């Protein structure tokens, strides 16, 4: 059977969809895909997304009048997801615009001062010094007006606009699956930045007006140890966990996280990625070499793949086999702990991708199905969603299962 690449089943579909398009994250999944799942979920359901990212599930659920709890370990994504899923009154949005207007006036007065700049490695690769100065002054004007970014605050919209500005004035290019840099860095003048920001904030405010009839919230929870918020028993899990493909969320989120003070050193970026399933940034990679699994009963299909990678005569086979091992080990811990937060009959939908190391196929869908089976889930299966790129063997799947047992 021929499987299509379906860009409508990727983050690209979301970019022009109001709140969903506020900031891009390449590993975000498609609103269309989530909607197709959520449309079939009854109104009184409670959805869990244990790997929230940009809160696509939380927002689609809220837009459809459903309730959702979402988890993540990245503080920036938690803050951002909550801002995306919040309702904003007309009065609040009016006040926001007033605050932004005042900041714009102050901004021009302080542009030549020595304002704070983030300690991003090789910052001049992202913005020239002139643009850095303009952005730093705008940031300071926002801090003076609203304070630093905080949870559940109207000013989040101004800050999200700032994040968008930061990326649009940078030399980051998104022509590939992951981010790269353009050779030429554009210099922006203050008038250009002002009109760009005005345009961004107008679009954000416009989409923030749309009222959400359901409720979605994002919480700091490590999904290897799931807890239920307010003792909710979840009836559905709709999620897209990391894939075992060594893509690090920190890489793409770095500019936002540094400018918003959610990240201040490369060391902390590595620490955060060590907590992330499939994380591979900085210290996370060096720790992998010495990592040893807990005593858990992992599927034979995983052991086979790990052995095949180890057999390859390449420099990093031990590291890569440990990477794959730890990924499925952490996913197993996740599924194991998830069970106590599920309602009887709860249905799971996991959008995952397979991968390949030194030509060895990692059948993510099969290994997750085997893990679900060994943990007592039933009605397990998978459906191919799309082909991931021109490489024939990379696909995205929806792995599903049902929780019908008692622990």
Q: How far is the CB of 275 from ligand SAM (least distance, A)?
A: 6
Indicate whether 270 belongs to the interface with ligand SAM (CB under 6 A). no
| Closer to ligand SAM by Cβ: residue 245 or 382 | 245
Indicate whether 224 belongs to the interface with ligand SAM (CB under 6 A). yes
The token pair at 37 is 């799942």
Per-residue string for binding with ligand SAM, 120-159, x by CB under 6 A? Answer: ----------------------------------------
Per-residue string for binding with ligand SAM, 317-336, x by CB under 6 A? Answer: --------------------
Beta bridge partners of 381: 400
Give the binding range for ligand SAM (CB under 6 A) out of 147-155, 187-195, 273-281, 288-296: 273-281
Q: How far is the CB of 340 from ligand SAM (least distance, A)?
A: 16
Residue 381 near residue 373, CB atoms below 8 Å: no
Q: Is the dihedral of CA 206, 207, 213, 219 positive or negative?
A: negative
Indicate whether 83 belongs to the interface with ligand SAM (CB under 6 A). no
Q: 217: which residues sit within 8 A by CB, 6+ positions away? A: 58, 68, 69, 70, 82, 85, 229
N-to-C CA span, the chain: 40
| Closer to ligand SAM by Cβ: residue 193 or 276 | 276
Beta bridge partners of 347: 236, 402
| Closer to ligand SAM by Cβ: residue 27 or 299 | 27
Q: State the Cα–Cα distance between residues 20 and 11, nearest whole angstrom.
A: 9
Residue nearest to ligand SAM (CB): 53
| Closer to ligand SAM by Cβ: residue 145 or 279 | 279
Q: How far is the CB of 242 from ligand SAM (least distance, A)?
A: 5
Beta bridge partners of 360: 357
Indicate whether 63 belongs to the interface with ligand SAM (CB under 6 A). no
Specify the DSSP class assigned to residue 7.
G
Give the binding range for ligand SAM (CB under 6 A) out of 48-56, 176-184, 192-200, 201-209: 48-56
Give the binding range for ligand SAM (CB under 6 A) out of 26-34, 108-116, 141-149, 362-370: 26-34
Count of beta carbons in the 10 Å neighbourhood of residue 319: 16
Q: How far is the CB of 248 from ligand SAM (least distance, A)?
A: 10
Can you tell me which of 137, 158, 237, 276 binds ligand SAM, judged by CB under 6 A?
A: 276
Nearest to 326 by CA among 271, 244, 241, 226: 244
Q: How far is the CB of 220 from ligand SAM (least distance, A)?
A: 9
Q: State the Cα–Cα distance between residues 152 and 362, nearest whole angstrom.
A: 40
Residue 74 near residue 253, CB atoms below 8 Å: yes
Can you tell me which of 9, 33, 56, 140 binds ligand SAM, judged by CB under 6 A?
A: 56
- Percent helix, strand, coil in the chain, to 5, is 45, 15, 40
The token pair at 231 is 């003792």
Indicate whether 54 belongs to the interface with ligand SAM (CB under 6 A). yes
Residue 348 near residue 401, CB atoms below 8 Å: yes
Can you tell me which of 62, 103, 240, 364 binds ligand SAM, judged by CB under 6 A?
A: 240
Residue 83 near residue 156, CB atoms below 8 Å: yes
Alpha helices in 56-155, H assignment, sequence order: 56-63, 75-84, 90-109, 129-146
Q: State the Cα–Cα distance between residues 94 and 87, nearest whole angstrom.
A: 14
Number of residues located near ligand SAM, criterion CB under 6 A? 23
Q: List residues near ligand SAM by CB under 6 A.
A: 25, 27-29, 51, 53-54, 56, 71-74, 77, 222-224, 240-242, 249, 275-277
């Amino acid at each position: 059977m021929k499987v299509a690449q379906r860009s409508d089943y990727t983050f690209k579909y979301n970019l022009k969809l109001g709140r969903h398009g506020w900031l891009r994250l390449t590993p975000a999944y498609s609103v269309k895909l989530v909607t197709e799942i959520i449309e079939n979920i009854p109104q009184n359901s409670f959805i869990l997304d244990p790997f929230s990212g940009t809160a696509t599930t939380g927002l689609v659920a809220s837009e459809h009048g459903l309730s959702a709890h979402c988890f993540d370990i990245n503080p920036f994504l938690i803050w951002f997801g909550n801002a995306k899923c919040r309702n904003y009154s007309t009065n609040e949005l009016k006040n926001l615009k007033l605050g932004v207007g005042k900041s714009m006036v102050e901004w021009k007065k302080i542009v030549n001062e020595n304002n704070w700049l983030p300690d991003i490695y090789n910052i001049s690769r992202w913005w020239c010094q002139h643009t850095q100065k303009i952005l730093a002054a705008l940031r300071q004007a926002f801090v003076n007006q609203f304070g630093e970014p905080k949870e559940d605050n109207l000013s989040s919209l101004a800050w999200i606009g700032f994040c968008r500005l930061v990326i649009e004035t940078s030399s980051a290019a998104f022509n590939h699956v992951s981010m790269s840099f353009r050779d030429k860095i554009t210099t922006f003048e203050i008038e250009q930045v002002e009109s760009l920001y005005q345009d961004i904030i107008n679009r954000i405010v416009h989409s923030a007006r749309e009222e959400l009839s359901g409720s979605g919230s994002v919480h700091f929870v490590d999904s290897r140890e799931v807890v239920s918020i307010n003792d909710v028993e979840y009836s559905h899990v709709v999620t897209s966990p990391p894939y075992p493909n060594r893509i690090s969320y920190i890489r793409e989120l770095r500019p936002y996280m540094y400018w918003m003070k959610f990240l201040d050193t490369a060391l902390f970026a590595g620490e955060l990625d060590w907590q992330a399933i499939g994380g591979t940034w900085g210290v996370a990679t060096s720790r992998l070499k010495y990592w040893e699994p807990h005593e858990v009963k992992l599927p034979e299909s995983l052991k086979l793949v790990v052995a095949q990678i180890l057999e390859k005569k390449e420099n990093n086979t031990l590291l890569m086999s440990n990477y794959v091992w730890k990924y499925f080990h952490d996913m197993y811990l996740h599924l194991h702990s998830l069970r106590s937060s599920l309602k009887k009959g709860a249905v799971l939908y996991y959008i995952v991708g397979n991968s390949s190391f030194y030509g060895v196929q990692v059948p993510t869908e099969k290994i997750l199905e085997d893990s679900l089976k060994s943990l007592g889930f039933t009605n397990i299966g998978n459906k191919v969603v799309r082909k991931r790129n021109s490489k024939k063997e990379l696909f995205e799947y929806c792995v599903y299962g049902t929780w019908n047992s008692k622990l």
